[in-house]
Amino acid sequence: MPRMSSGLLTAVLGVVLGMRHALEPDHLAAVSSLAAEQRSARAGLTLGAAWGLGHTLSLLAVGGTLALLETQLPPRLASGVELLVAVMVVGLGLRALGRAAREGRRGAPSTHAHGGVVHTHPAPDEHLHLRGWTLATRPLLVGVVHGLAGSGAVTALVLAELPSAAARLGYIGLFGLGSVAGMALLTGLFGVPLVRVARAPRAAAALLGVAGVVSVVVGAAWGVEAGRQLWGG
């Protein structure tokens, strides 16, 4: 990669690469198994943004610290984190398959209030409220784990290309912003056809099942490669 000499170029590159990073196979597999449970473009967009927020927080905490210390994750630790991501992706896929198998047999949606916020959703969904905002906890945590795995590569990039600590932290922040935008846009668009699919429970269950299978396959393949790097087999 050519040396970055312009602050504007660095900013644009950070956002663009962050958006591209959101489209990596393990990210798509994990988030698709979650997004397939949503039933609107708005819900999908919120889910993607929550993933991106968790991803960015993790990148800033770990990648930012490594960049300031001018060091990188030990290879074995990086491989161990990749293996953790793979296990998580497989787990999300199995969860999606389980939900697909019992789709339509859950209890009716429940209406309840959190302070002054009243809304309706299926009871098993996990979320929290921050003032007037509803934030999905599962995609947030999935994003955090993915951010841990991506910290090593981002740190290596900024150490090789950027001379100052401020520039490195700024780039990581913009990279994270790009990942938020990329995943939110992707899951928001994914939610558009789900509005129609949701009207046919069998189709919705089939879509969830496909997402689960893809997640399991991608996670298993990722795990095999991470295990090979970790144990040198």
Distance from CA of residue 198 to its chain's centroid? Answer: 23
**Number of neighbouring beta carbons within 10 Å of residue 149:** 27
Which has the higher per-residue pLDDT, 124 or 233? 233
The whole-model pTM stands at 0.77
Is residue 130 over pLDDT 50?
no
Angle between helical axes of 41-58 and 137-161 (0-180°, round to 10): 50
Region 147-168 average pLDDT: 82
pLDDT in tens, 182-192: 888 888 777 77
Q: What is the pLDDT of residue 18?
A: 76
Lowest mean pLDDT among 70-74, 91-95, 105-109, 117-121: 105-109
Region 73-102 average pLDDT: 88
Average pLDDT score, the chain: 77
Is residue 3 over pLDDT 50?
no
Region 49-71 average pLDDT: 88
Q: What is the pLDDT of residue 87?
A: 93
Instruction: Give the torsion sign (CA, 64, 65, 66, 68).
Output: positive
Region 61-87 average pLDDT: 88
Q: Which helix (H) or strand (E) holds 169?
A: helix 165-197
Contacts of 56 (CB under 8 A, 6+ apart): 143, 147, 173, 176, 177, 179, 180
Task: Tell me how far apart the alpha carbons of residues 70 and 34 are, in angstroms, rounded to a whole number.
Answer: 36
Region 108-127 average pLDDT: 51
Which has the higher per-residue pLDDT, 77 or 152? 77
Per-residue confidence band for 113, with pLDDT thresholds at 50, 70 and 90: low
